[in-house]
Amino acid sequence: MVLPAESRQYRCSETEAPAAGSPAAGSVFAETWLDLRERADHAARAGLLHPPLNDWLQQRAGQSRQPLQLVDLGCGHGSNLRYLAPRLTGPQQWLLVDHDAALLERTSQRCARLTDDRAQPIHVARRQADLQQPLALDFEHADLISASALLDLVSHQWLEQLAECCHRHAAAALLTLSIDGVIELCDASGQRCEDERDRQLFEALAHHQQRDKGFGTALGSDAPAAARAIFEASGHRVTTARSDWHLAAARDDDCTLLRQLFKGWQQALMEQLPTQQAVITEWYHRHLRQLDAGRLGARIGHLDLLALPPDGAK
């Protein structure tokens, strides 16, 4: 997903990096965006993946009273952990992994009082790490590697490394909120209303989403299909489920989120189509007027993926 330029989480070619000596500067902007999208993310998550994941984790734990070893890769401000912890059964030990040390510290503090589905406290640790090479990260004892809203930023090779990491350690993977290229605009009654100009610009946006985001050529909206194929090739049992954002025209927080999305889309399109800036500017302001009038909503397509190791893998 293309974020507003000031809110992207990693080394994106589309935006200037925070000034040297002030690593928290970009993180503050990122957290503003992440806070804004959290309600939509949590409402969209595919709950039908939780029972098979919980069943597998309990089988993995057996009679042991040891905590489950869970990883949140590219954890951001901890939205994925806040969503999952109260939905997973049994003692939990989470490892938060991100490249931003200041953000990691704030996130671990923010998540320190979370509990599992039986209201028992969980344990949270953190690790600052470069995320570019999943195989270089030591997840030897992990039961589950999870990531949210990350796959569209990474490359095919990065996903192959992640699948290999899960295969080596017989770990499950839960990879959620991956964009799949669906953007449907709707009016106040919920009827689709995108026109030919919208479709042309969204196609250009899809190409922009495949620029290098710091992990090699980004998969963009091809990420869900690539992830499924790669994990199945490694022997995992893969289940996917839709996790679309449904943003209503008259709901204030949905309109605020959409306004930020359009801002990010405008900036990306200006880079992708530099000779069409007047067209893009008119398109952007037309949709802002519709948002201000409570006449524009959207469905933004996402998929969640659960990959379980082959039966008997340990």
pLDDT at 20: 29
- 196 contacts 190 by C-beta, under 8 angstroms: no
Neighbouring C-beta atoms of residue 233, cutoff 10 Å: 11
The stretch 141-166 carries a mean pLDDT of 96
Tokens standing for residue 179: 């964009």
Determine what percent of the chain is predicted with pLDDT higher than 90: 83
**Residues sharing a CB contact under 8 Å with residue 165, sequence separation 6 or more, in sequence order:** 134, 135, 137, 139, 145, 171
Instruction: Say if residue 27's pLDDT is above 50.
Output: no
Rounded-to-integer distance, Cα 133 and Cα 135, Å = 5
Quick: pLDDT tens for 225-248: 999 999 999 999 999 999 999 999
- 123 contacts 67 by C-beta, under 8 angstroms: yes
Q: How confident is the model at residue 155 (pLDDT cuts 50, 70, 90)?
A: very high
Position with higher pLDDT, 137 vs 276: 276
Quick: pLDDT tens for 66-83: 899 999 999 999 999 999
Phi, psi at 225, each rounded to 5°: -65, -40
Rounded-to-integer distance, Cα 163 and Cα 77, Å = 24
Rounded-to-integer distance, Cα 80 and Cα 51, Å = 17
- 237 contacts 35 by C-beta, under 8 angstroms: no
* Beta bridge partner(s), residue 121: 115
Rounded-to-integer distance, Cα 108 and Cα 125, Å = 7
Instruction: Say if residue 121's pLDDT is above 60.
Output: yes
- Domains assigned to the chain: 5-308 (3.40.50.150)
Left (φ > 0), alpha (ψ -120 to 50) or beta: where does 68 sit? beta
Rg (C-alpha) for the chain, rounded Å, is 20
Question: What's the pTM?
Answer: 0.90
CA-CA-CA-CA dihedral for 44, 283, 201, 259, to nearest 10: -20
Q: How confident is the model at residue 17 (pLDDT cuts 50, 70, 90)?
A: very low
Quick: pLDDT tens for 168-177: 999 999 999 9
Instruction: Say if residue 6's pLDDT is above 80.
Output: no
Instruction: Say if residue 300's pLDDT is above 50.
Output: yes
